[in-house]
Amino acid sequence: MGGQVTHGVAIAGCGLIGQKRAKALRGAKVVACADVLRERAEALAHATGATASGDWREIVKRDDVSIVIVATTNDLLAEITIAALAAGKHVLVEKPAARSVAEIDEVIAAQNKSGCLVHVGFNHRYHPALRKAQLLVEQGEAGEMMFVRGRYGHGGRIGYDREWRADPAVAGGGELIDQGVHLIDLARLFVGDFRDVRGYARTYFWDMPVDDNAFMLLTSHAGQTAFLHASSTEWKNLFSFEIYGRTAKLHAEGLGGSYGLERLSFFRMLPEMGPPETTIWEYPGADDSWGLELDEFLDDIAQHRQPAASLADARAALMVVESIYQESRR
Amino acid sequence: MGGQVTHGVAIAGCGLIGQKRAKALRGAKVVACADVLRERAEALAHATGATASGDWREIVKRDDVSIVIVATTNDLLAEITIAALAAGKHVLVEKPAARSVAEIDEVIAAQNKSGCLVHVGFNHRYHPALRKAQLLVEQGEAGEMMFVRGRYGHGGRIGYDREWRADPAVAGGGELIDQGVHLIDLARLFVGDFRDVRGYARTYFWDMPVDDNAFMLLTSHAGQTAFLHASSTEWKNLFSFEIYGRTAKLHAEGLGGSYGLERLSFFRMLPEMGPPETTIWEYPGADDSWGLELDEFLDDIAQHRQPAASLADARAALMVVESIYQESRR
Amino acid sequence: MGGQVTHGVAIAGCGLIGQKRAKALRGAKVVACADVLRERAEALAHATGATASGDWREIVKRDDVSIVIVATTNDLLAEITIAALAAGKHVLVEKPAARSVAEIDEVIAAQNKSGCLVHVGFNHRYHPALRKAQLLVEQGEAGEMMFVRGRYGHGGRIGYDREWRADPAVAGGGELIDQGVHLIDLARLFVGDFRDVRGYARTYFWDMPVDDNAFMLLTSHAGQTAFLHASSTEWKNLFSFEIYGRTAKLHAEGLGGSYGLERLSFFRMLPEMGPPETTIWEYPGADDSWGLELDEFLDDIAQHRQPAASLADARAALMVVESIYQESRR
Amino acid sequence: MGGQVTHGVAIAGCGLIGQKRAKALRGAKVVACADVLRERAEALAHATGATASGDWREIVKRDDVSIVIVATTNDLLAEITIAALAAGKHVLVEKPAARSVAEIDEVIAAQNKSGCLVHVGFNHRYHPALRKAQLLVEQGEAGEMMFVRGRYGHGGRIGYDREWRADPAVAGGGELIDQGVHLIDLARLFVGDFRDVRGYARTYFWDMPVDDNAFMLLTSHAGQTAFLHASSTEWKNLFSFEIYGRTAKLHAEGLGGSYGLERLSFFRMLPEMGPPETTIWEYPGADDSWGLELDEFLDDIAQHRQPAASLADARAALMVVESIYQESRR
């Protein structure tokens, strides 16, 4: 593989997600880490052989950096991405990529000017059950899409309503902009963009000024329905995404760990109808979605190819989010 | 048990449901059966020792009949119920009890005049998993209700779109008025009536002038959400009803047979939060919901007590149904 | 298909199994039925358009009969099979085909003399999960066989110990010769005959002079182990058969109905070991094993081919049964 | 809790199990750690605030130590336990506590002389599903015990046959003495000691001079059967322990992590028999068996009470192990 470029990577935000990204990097090297909690930056720097900093501004412009991973709280995602693009770096920014449509439009403008690539971290697309589902749908195994149904939630933890996700200024919203955008993004993968958005973001349990439950009833341009619910009062961690075509149902469940064993069930209607032909794939191995996503982004860069999960995708998801927040305020 | 009244029962409609009712009768005797398909009436009459007729009018007024079970197609439910009430009979009428609010209002008027009792056959309330769920909620085990989520569907069968359920004049609607009303009724059990009704009834697969999928997003007077989907393109038969309180989740699944083993899962949040304390009850025995429902109705009659599943409940469900049909037509 | 012979079938024994066989016959016609309970013979004759008899001797020699199905209690299986063979008929005899090795040796002698075919009703071989397992093993997907593990049991019913299966003279044994022979037969399919037989037949619960539990520890000629347990005190009906090769595990579970959904799980070891690649096939449809088995037997007859499940297979299973009964008596 | 003794603990063997024990200690303090790999001792010493050593002899006699935890390879378990007892320390020694009956007899002699307590680390007894099962059996919920069935196995990892567990001199045996002793110990909990031991220890897959599969067919003094299989070629990690009484079946499954969610199923026979009343408890939380076991041992010490899992229990399990190794060599 002589001649291959090895990218230097800067990681802004060294919390749980930043650490996962660092660990999942194959074929690129972390050279600099920043976090407002300097100890956190130092711990990750120590583990990766990188330089630590307490300020992201110090790392995004370094000459030895060609890729910036932005894994901060939501309020900094757009700002750091714009700065990195201005410095000529490619960017992997975690979802939701920005707190609002207005904010992401600035990022899109910055990208257009820079010519660099931006991948948005919709990592659920890279889970094996969902990849297999996409493949089966592309191969026509499910027939024309009719609707999708998604349920995604967790039960929080003590003090959850005092964390940054509970602060609208930092997070840009609550459960809808947190786990909800994953459901919206997955739904768009299967039925495309939405012409009609109904739904409610509601606060039932947590003592916080953002929503802890988001119910969505979306209609695609082709008339397909996405029926989605994200919850931070799910009590038993749950991920379930059901995809209905004219000839089959696909059901992705679990994300490993506390979300349960990941599996895809494929229910194929027989010509005589009645009970379907049923095949299930289980994925007991460790979650490799982070690694696959980064590999793909490195390939995108090598081939000057637009990332599959783009700023346009994040913008489309944020359009739904904003619309539901508006409907809920009425 | 000397002195106990043994009721004579007339069954109007001797299809699958009429037969199930006849089989589940304990402590009452079928004396007359009617069906437009006279052979069907004769078969059931033969099995029960009753008299057969091709015309329901002949059986609802008989002196030896004190209870009429109405298990016909939807177009006759109201008409027969009204006739039976006029003849001074108690009535068990299958859901949805009428095709519309206007129609059920006539039944309610007839009942008010007659003083007889009417039980509406929302038999899902009597499934053991849902009874256990109601009991746990009543005992405060789940805390204050926040929302419910229901998914109910089947995959149809060849020619489904040529059956009476596909004819709006006979059925009064499609999947929404068929399986959907069960979900609405169960949701009302846990969160009460709805102040706001959103939803769509859509036709994705079957070649018929009624809906094969109904998506509902309902808000109760107390602000709780019911997020419900009924489908006749579910491909793999499914019944799932999830109930969320502030301190627990209850999940009823399966109805036996092709809907899978019936079970109730109880996820109780611990004070320290994290993974819930989990208890599951499974009900591998035969479905006895029909028998329990009839037993209760016989007790209602004996005690002059209003049935738990009343015409008012059916009316409330039909209000939701009509509202969604109207919203969908817009 | 002009010119195809349509076989006339006589059914001796019109209980549950005889009825299932009659219902599963495709491409052959029941012409005569016999049962010691004449009403039972008449009911099946009525359903199939056949002639009824209270004596099996009257039906096995009929000119219009070319196949005899023997579905009686165990004490008559050999006698009727021998008589049918003497009359020049092909025979499908239910497992265990005889009560002892000595008895089956007489049947084998009769078959050798007659030139007719005998299929032994080891119908579990024809369940889809086990057919799929056999296919995968034949294709080398599991590698060289190491061992199999089988658990099969039911919970009986009130009065079980007063039924014919509890009478050693009629049944030839207890749980071992009843459900146990299925496990032995399946084990032989995967690892061949046994050079060493250990095990116990024990009576723990039922008040009867035969075993209600049989534990088997068998060693094949190639040194593979079969670890098998059959029980009529299983309380929750269970069928589980696990097959271990050097590169994969196959797990067949459930037989439908009260034994639970039938499925085959395929756990394939990856070169890097760790969690296996997992694929599961579920079979929610009705049990068609009876029909497939009869179809194969009709093909065997048409092609003058020895049935796959032969008297030799039944003899091999009975050798294990007798050996364990002897060891248990010591 | 003034006046409570806080024990100083020495840990001999700082591998995976030693680390788990250290982490699970509540109400006692690690003061010294030893491991032949000095770095491993140092890492654990660093994490616990203890002193590190490369030689266990240096730590078992320290004045500030009152409890020694022995978590080394099997060849040192007895030697270190004896030395610790001689120094007047209480000992928690991991299973199997010794490599043979002869070796454990020396330990028992040392304990008798010392008057100190020894707990053997049969931690599976402390898993919540098995504790609940014991409780239900003690309360008579399952009736008189009839038999138990256990399956326990893992799929190894590359190089497994080069690890210490594959060396008979170090491990004292293979899969039987490793996972097998857990099954034997659990079986004894429910049916007591064994009067008859059959079984085989076999090597099917791994290139090693010890067994990778152990099949056991044990008969208790009261005639109950234990039907047990331990495997290091299980491919998909599995723990299953089924307990059959005259009125119920109890099924403990899973140990968390790669062994799957831990659960106990309770199938209670109804007087009318048929499908059982079924209750399932799931334990999604982290495995606390190590902590509970240590808590109990600290209580044992405080109350001068013999530990529930004693050297006598380990000896009884080793008797079965040796008997099967002898039978297998024949």
Query: What was the pLDDT predicted at A205?
Result: 97
- Whether the CB-CB separation of A242 and A263 falls below 8 Å is answered with no
Nearest-angstrom CA–CA distance, D21 and B27: 63
* Interface with chain D: mutation pick from C163, C206, C235, highest number of D CBs within 10 Å: C235
Token code pair at residue C304: 């003058």
Q: What is the pLDDT of residues A175-201, one digit of tens each?
A: 999 999 999 999 999 999 999 999 999
Rounded to 5 degrees, φ, ψ at C145 are -70, 140
For residue D10, the cross-strand partners are D32, D68
* Cβ–Cβ below 8 Å for C269 and D229: no
Please report, rounded to a whole number, the percentage of residues in chain D having pLDDT higher than 70.
98
The answer to whether B278 faces chain D, any CB pair under 8 Å, is yes
Peptide bond into C96 cis (omega under 30): yes
**Using CB atoms within 10 A of its CB, is residue A169 exposed (0-12), middle (13-18) or buried (19+)?**
exposed
Nearest chain D residue to A284 by CA: give it.
D258
Token code pair at residue B119: 């039980």
Nearest chain C residue to A286 by CA: give it.
C275
Alpha-carbon Rg for chain B in angstroms: 20
- Whether the CB-CB separation of D107 and D118 falls below 8 Å is answered with yes
How close D235 comes to chain C (CA, Å)? 7
Nearest-angstrom CA–CA distance, D250 and A305: 57
Nearest-angstrom CA–CA distance, A297 and A125: 13
Nearest-angstrom CA–CA distance, A148 and A136: 15
Q: What is the pLDDT of residues D271-313, one digit of tens each?
A: 999 999 999 999 998 888 999 999 999 999 999 999 999 999 9
Kindly indicate whether the ipTM for this predicted assembly is greater than 0.85, answering yes or no: yes
Query: What was the pLDDT predicted at B1?
Result: 36
Q: Chain B window 181-200: which residues touch A at a Cβ cutoff of 8 Å?
A: 198-200
Amino acid, res. B316: A
Q: What is the pLDDT of residues C196-243, one digit of tens each?
A: 999 999 999 999 999 999 999 999 999 999 999 999 999 999 999 999
The number of helix segments (H) and strand segments (E) in chain A equals 10, 14
- Whether the CB-CB separation of B301 and B7 falls below 8 Å is answered with yes
pLDDT, mean over chain A: 96
Cα separations in angstroms, C221 against B94, C140, C192, D215: 64, 20, 7, 17
Amino acid, res. B83: A
The answer to whether C266 faces chain A, any CB pair under 8 Å, is no
- Among the partner-chain residues A235, A267, A269, the one whose CB lies closest to the CB of B269 is A235
Query: What was the pLDDT predicted at A5?
Result: 63
Q: What is the pLDDT of residues C126-155, one digit of tens each?
A: 999 999 999 999 999 999 999 999 999 999
Which of chain C's residues have a Cβ under 8 Å away from the Cβ of A284? 275-276, 278
- DSSP secondary structure string, C286-315? ---HHHHHHHHHHHHHHTT---SS-HHHHH
- Residue C138, C-beta contacts closer than 8 angstroms, at least 6 positions apart: none
The answer to whether A285 faces chain D, any CB pair under 8 Å, is no
CA B12 vs. chain centroid, Å, equals: 17
Token code pair at residue C170: 């009629």
* Cβ–Cβ below 8 Å for B275 and D285: yes
Which of chain B's residues have a Cβ under 8 Å away from the Cβ of D283? 278
Q: What is the pLDDT of residues A259-301, one digit of tens each?
A: 999 999 999 999 999 999 999 999 998 888 999 999 999 999 9
How close C186 comes to chain D (CA, Å)? 19
- Residue D183, C-beta contacts closer than 8 angstroms, at least 6 positions apart: D150, D152, D216, D226, D228, D229, D230, D241
Which of chain C's residues have a Cβ under 8 Å away from the Cβ of B238? none
Rounded to 5 degrees, φ, ψ at B304 are 50, 45
A27 pLDDT more than 90: no
Tell me which H or E stretch contains C209.
none
Q: What is the pLDDT of residues B30-49, one digit of tens each?
A: 999 999 999 999 999 999 99
Nearest-angstrom CA–CA distance, C178 and C171: 8
How close D156 comes to chain C (CA, Å)? 7
* Cβ–Cβ below 8 Å for D280 and B283: no
The answer to whether C258 faces chain B, any CB pair under 8 Å, is yes
Tell me which H or E stretch contains C230.
strand C225-231
How close B152 comes to chain C (CA, Å)? 18
Token code pair at residue A185: 């993004």
Tell me C276's DSSP state: P
Amino acid, res. A48: T
Nearest chain C residue to B257 by CA: give it.
C257
* Residue C156 pLDDT level (bands cut at 50, 70, 90): confident
* Residue D175 pLDDT level (bands cut at 50, 70, 90): very high
**Chain D adjacent subunits, 3+ CB pairs under 8 A:** A, B, C
Cα separations in angstroms, C271 against B328, C140, C243, C250: 55, 16, 20, 18
Question: What is the largest distance, in Å, between two alpha-carbon atoms of chain A?
Answer: 65
Cα separations in angstroms, D191 against C147, C319, D224, D244, D271: 27, 31, 7, 10, 25
* Cβ–Cβ below 8 Å for D249 and C272: no
Query: What was the pLDDT predicted at D3?
Result: 43
Which of chain D's residues have a Cβ under 8 Å away from the Cβ of B261? none
Nearest-angstrom CA–CA distance, B84 and B88: 6
Query: What was the pLDDT predicted at C4?
Result: 58
The answer to whether D274 faces chain B, any CB pair under 8 Å, is yes
* Interface with chain D: mutation pick from B280, B283, B287, highest number of D CBs within 10 Å: B280
Q: Per-residue pLDDT averaged across D223-238, rounded?
A: 98
The answer to whether B285 faces chain C, any CB pair under 8 Å, is no
- Whether the CB-CB separation of D214 and D199 falls below 8 Å is answered with yes
Query: What was the pLDDT predicted at D26?
Result: 87
- Whether the CB-CB separation of A184 and A158 falls below 8 Å is answered with no
Residue with tokens 């093993």: C137
Rounded to 5 degrees, φ, ψ at B316 are -60, -40
For residue D244, the cross-strand partners are D147, D249
Q: Per-residue pLDDT averaged across D231-259, rounded?
A: 97
- Neighbour tally for B162: CB within 10 Å: 12
How close A256 comes to chain C (CA, Å)? 13
Q: Per-residue pLDDT averaged across B79-90, rounded?
A: 98
Tell me which H or E stretch contains A286.
none
A4 pLDDT more than 80: no
Query: What was the pLDDT predicted at A330?
Result: 74
Q: What is the pLDDT of residues C273-312, one digit of tens each?
A: 999 999 999 999 888 899 999 999 999 999 999 999 999 9
- DSSP secondary structure string, C132-180? HHHHHHHTTTT-SEEEEEEEEE----TTGGGSGGG-HHHHSSSHIIIII
Nearest-angstrom CA–CA distance, D94 and D69: 8
The answer to whether B282 faces chain D, any CB pair under 8 Å, is yes
- Whether the CB-CB separation of D107 and D81 falls below 8 Å is answered with yes
Nearest chain C residue to D257 by CA: give it.
C275
Q: Per-residue pLDDT averaged across B267-287, rounded?
A: 94
- Whether the CB-CB separation of A250 and B170 falls below 8 Å is answered with no
* Cβ–Cβ below 8 Å for B281 and D278: yes
- Whether the CB-CB separation of C103 and C321 falls below 8 Å is answered with no
Which of chain A's residues have a Cβ under 8 Å away from the Cβ of C272? none
- Neighbour tally for D23: CB within 10 Å: 14
Token code pair at residue C214: 């049989």
Nearest-angstrom CA–CA distance, A7 and A9: 6
Residue with tokens 């020895």: C306
Residue with tokens 């395929």: C266
CA B284 vs. chain centroid, Å, equals: 22
Nearest-angstrom CA–CA distance, B82 and D34: 87
Q: What is the pLDDT of residues D93-145, one digit of tens each?
A: 999 999 999 999 999 999 999 999 999 999 999 999 999 999 999 999 999 99
- Whether the CB-CB separation of C150 and C255 falls below 8 Å is answered with no
* Interface with chain A: mutation pick from B154, B158, B163, B235, highest number of A CBs within 10 Å: B235
The answer to whether A271 faces chain C, any CB pair under 8 Å, is no
CA B143 vs. chain centroid, Å, equals: 26
- Whether the CB-CB separation of A192 and A275 falls below 8 Å is answered with no
Q: What is the pLDDT of residues B4-22, one digit of tens each?
A: 568 999 999 999 999 999 9
C1 pLDDT more than 90: no
Which of chain C's residues have a Cβ under 8 Å away from the Cβ of B259? none
- Whether the CB-CB separation of A194 and A183 falls below 8 Å is answered with no
* Cβ–Cβ below 8 Å for B219 and A198: no
Which of chain D's residues have a Cβ under 8 Å away from the Cβ of C236? 249, 267, 275-276, 278
Amino acid, res. A301: I
Query: What was the pLDDT predicted at D107?
Result: 98
Alpha-carbon Rg for chain D in angstroms: 20
Rounded to 5 degrees, φ, ψ at D45 are -60, -40
B150 pLDDT more than 80: yes
* Residue D188 pLDDT level (bands cut at 50, 70, 90): very high
Nearest-angstrom CA–CA distance, B53 and B212: 34
Q: Which range has the worst mean pLDDT, B222-226, B286-290, D7-11?
A: B286-290
Which of chain C's residues have a Cβ under 8 Å away from the Cβ of A257? none
| CA angle at A216 for the pair A213 and A219, rounded to the nearest 5° | 170
Nearest-angstrom CA–CA distance, D171 and D75: 6
How close D180 comes to chain C (CA, Å)? 15
* Cβ–Cβ below 8 Å for C223 and D234: no
Q: Chain B window 234-253: which residues touch C at a Cβ cutoff of 8 Å?
A: 236
- Among the partner-chain residues C278, C281, C285, the one whose CB lies closest to the CB of A282 is C278
How close D263 comes to chain B (CA, Å)? 9
* Residue C3 pLDDT level (bands cut at 50, 70, 90): very low
Q: What is the pLDDT of residues A37-76, one digit of tens each?
A: 999 999 999 999 999 999 999 999 999 999 999 999 999 9
Nearest-angstrom CA–CA distance, D174 and D325: 10
CB burial string B60-81: b at 16+ within 10 A, e below: bebeebbbbbbbbbbbbbbbbb
CA A266 vs. chain centroid, Å, equals: 24
Q: Chain C window 89-148: which residues touch D at a Cβ cutoff of 8 Å?
A: 146-147
Query: What was the pLDDT predicted at D2?
Result: 38
3-state SS, residue D62: coil
Query: What was the pLDDT predicted at A2?
Result: 38
